[in-house]
Amino acid sequence: MTKPRPRPTVVVVGLGGTIAMTPSARDGAARPSLSAQDLLDAVPQLDSADIDIQTLSFASKPGASLTLDDIETLASWLREMAGEGTADGIVVTQGTDTLEETAYLLSLLYAEQAPLVVSGAMRAPHLAGADGPANLLAAVTVAASPQARGLGVLVVFNDLVFDPARVRKTHSTSTHAFAAPDTGPLGAVVEGHLRLLAIPAHTPRPLTTALHRPARVMLYCATLGDDERLLEPLLSQVDGLVIAGFGVGHVPETWVPVLAKAARRIPVVLASRTGGGTTLTRAYGFDGSEKDLLSRGLIGAGHLDPYKARLLLTVLLRAGADHDTIRATYAPAGTTAEGRG
């Protein structure tokens, strides 16, 4: 293992998002345009920090247009950068709309010692109280911190540090848009330093093997009064399915034969649509309950929310994992009782 150099090098990689948006002359609406170097120029506090900073503009997109291929390509660049020792820490800045997903996906694909910190902004640089510079300063601080080494991917936002497996975007406009409903933050940036208060219960063993296989995984949300007729025709088009069920993992009783049939062909994962908490395993026994669905071959996502459960299934299928491996991976990833031991 290479020792961190006395003056760490942090590479800031820009992907676009509000943090890099400026208003267009045409309609005043914000669109991505700034480079990673532009973002850095807005943080003079970093000039006096004892950190060498390099920049790289990887993409200039809103968060909504980032693709799984983008993130897989990015992950392989970052692995190389950290593996060669070019970076002691990495910061990725991007749109907040998909940040809870990209950070989790990166955590499945990146296993280097150099911390990889994902951040962004809720207010574009031209708005009063723009939060991009403060978020970038905190993100670079964490990425350069020896305490963060070996922790893999972290999300830093509004001076708080989050586990990518637990973080959610919980507000559409507030600068305090990110939270981890089940655990709270792992730490905070206080007076220019990282204060680590907790470490994640489960760190995924990243799947950096080649993701050659195509895999289309659908996320379908249970909603009041939706019968099975919308869901059923879609199933032949997918290689995996995640159900965002009601509460602890419930669906309408009419869905049961459809999901049972699907689970004989493809992996079907059962998550909760609530935004916090876990799926259960045996508390309820009615048709369409979690106990019923698990007995028919569905896989519980535990504390993993539906968006992250979909990404995990996608990566597993793209890596060619078999059904037993997929099932065995969800228990620790969702931090369920079955995952202990």
- Regarding 97 and contact with ligand ASP (CB under 6 A), the answer is yes
- Regarding 63 and contact with ligand ASP (CB under 6 A), the answer is yes
- Regarding 102 and contact with ligand ASP (CB under 6 A), the answer is no
Q: What is the rounded CA–CA span in Å between residue 178 and residue 189? A: 15
Q: How far is the CB of 247 from ligand ASP (least distance, A)?
A: 29
Among 2, 9, 18, 55, which one carries the catalytic annotation?
A: 18
3-state SS assignment for residue 14: strand
Q: What is the rounded CA–CA span in Å between residue 255 and residue 239? A: 18
Decide: 289 and 281 in contact? Cβ < 8 Å: no
Measure Cα distances from 50 to 9, 10, 100, 137 in Å.
9, 11, 30, 13
Tell which one of 8, 17, 133, 249 touches ligand ASP (CB under 6 A): 17
Reply yes or no on whether 9 is catalytic: no
Q: What is the rounded CA–CA span in Å between residue 113 and residue 25? A: 43
Decide: 302 and 242 in contact? Cβ < 8 Å: no
Instruction: Point out which span in 61-69, 181-189, 309-317, 333-341 binds ligand ASP (CB under 6 A).
Output: 61-69
- Regarding 314 and contact with ligand ASP (CB under 6 A), the answer is no
Instruction: Point out which span in 60-68, 133-141, 195-203, 221-229 binds ligand ASP (CB under 6 A).
Output: 60-68
Residue 160 backbone dihedrals phi, psi, to 5 degrees: -110, 150
Tell which one of 40, 53, 58, 62 touches ligand ASP (CB under 6 A): 62
Q: What is the rounded CA–CA span in Å between residue 175 and residue 31? A: 19
Q: What is the largest CA-CA distance in the chain?
A: 63
- Regarding 120 and contact with ligand ASP (CB under 6 A), the answer is yes
- Note the Cα 50 to chain centre separation in Å: 29
Give the nearer residue to ligand ASP in terms of CB position, either 86 or 174.
174
Instruction: Point out which span in 62-70, 111-119, 270-278, 291-299 binds ligand ASP (CB under 6 A).
Output: 62-70
Q: What is the rounded CA–CA span in Å between residue 315 and residue 71? A: 12
C-beta nearest to ligand ASP: residue: 95
Instruction: Point out which span in 95-103, 106-114, 128-136, 195-203 binds ligand ASP (CB under 6 A).
Output: 95-103
- The binding site for ligand ASP (CB under 6 A) comprises 17-18, 62-64, 95-97, 120, 122
Q: Give catalytic residues, as residue numbers.
A: 18
